[in-house]
């Protein structure tokens, strides 16, 4: 998984994508990450799900976690997967955008991937990957 682009003012793209999208609330901005993902584990018979709800953002306030569920941007261009996300078999790749509404005074945004998976024996394990999203 890697971040390939970051748009710290994504409202123009979000507005262009769907005329019915609401602008960010006063004091907020839309921040959109473009990510690429490849499933390098498992087998060609098993898949891993990935979707926008596997991601969160935390900033300099360290008190609030932003999620696409409660802090989303509406209909965005090139979303990660379809409405249900993406199913990636071993070697499968996808890319797309994940967008969050965050206060304009949040700095040092860190992008978090956090999801649970099952191994071949059916045992669950959690994967967390932290990405620095914005300079301090």
Q: What is the CATH number of the domain that holds 29?
A: 2.60.40.1240
Helices and strands (H, E) in the chain, number of each type: 2, 9
Which DSSP category does 25 fall into?
Answer: P
Which range of residues forms the domain containing residue 114? 2-132
Tokens linked to 119? 């191994």
| 54-88: pLDDT as tens digits | 888 888 877 678 887 888 999 999 999 876 778 88
Q: Please state the domain count of the chain.
A: 1
| Average pLDDT value for the chain | 83
Give the integer Cα–Cα distance in Å for 7 and 31: 6
> pTM value?
0.81
| 105-122: pLDDT as tens digits | 988 888 888 766 555 566
Alpha-helical segments (H) within 19-92: 68-71
């Amino acid at each position: 998984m890697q971040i390939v682009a970051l748009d710290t003012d994504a409202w123009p793209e979000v507005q262009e994508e769907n005329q019915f999208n609401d602008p960010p609330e006063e004091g907020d901005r839309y921040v959109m990450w473009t990510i690429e993902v490849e499933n390098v584990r498992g087998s060609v018979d098993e898949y891993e799900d990935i979707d926008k709800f596997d991601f969160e953002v935390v900033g300099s306030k360290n008190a609030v976690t932003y999620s696409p569920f409660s802090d989303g941007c509406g209909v965005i261009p090139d979303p990660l997967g379809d409405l249900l996300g993406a199913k990636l078999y071993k070697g499968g790749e996808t890319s797309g955008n994940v967008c969050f509404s965050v206060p304009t005074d949040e700095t040092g945004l860190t992008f978090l991937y956090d999801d649970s998976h099952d191994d071949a024996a059916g045992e669950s394990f959690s994967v967390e990957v932290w990405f620095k999203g914005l300079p301090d």
